[in-house]
A and B are shown apart, each in its own frame.
Chain A
């Protein structure tokens, strides 16, 4: 069975600090997909990134970067120069490569960026 672990329940940083959110996953599939979603205080779930298991390239999008390491089953998310608007709950999720693609979510990390 698949599992996603986000060990950091809450993180608090001061604006402009860098912060890394950890995600560790478990799956028996060789083909799988990893995701990060953001849930701001308004409650919606915003898609941030998808990574395929066969593509271990790291990705950078503006202040966001993601580090995918198959060897440690980790898919960590770094926000550089954090801003107050980054305050949200961040979820890591996994789907396996079969015909159904339901997401298994981690428990989320509440990030608070203080001014």
Chain B
């Protein structure tokens, strides 16, 4: 079983749609959680951290459920520029700040 699992998609949605991505992690000792964005053939970049209380950054909302070991990312009012692969990332306590990546969920926003 992979440590971090994501639905690979692809998700094809029209502009303006709301789309949600889910991620589960297997290690209950996981400490920190993130969503990274990776454009086609580019490097990953941090999109946002994920906190137990949930957090919002503009059109993006991330939530964490530690009991279910589940992380989500919600994108409202999708833009063409949101087309990318979204990587769910976790770290373990005391793991020297090492990131463990999921395989990513591919999103295409259609005009």
Chain A bound to chain B:
no
B residues within 8 Å of A by Cβ?
A: none
- A residues whose Cβ falls under 8 Å from a Cβ of B: none
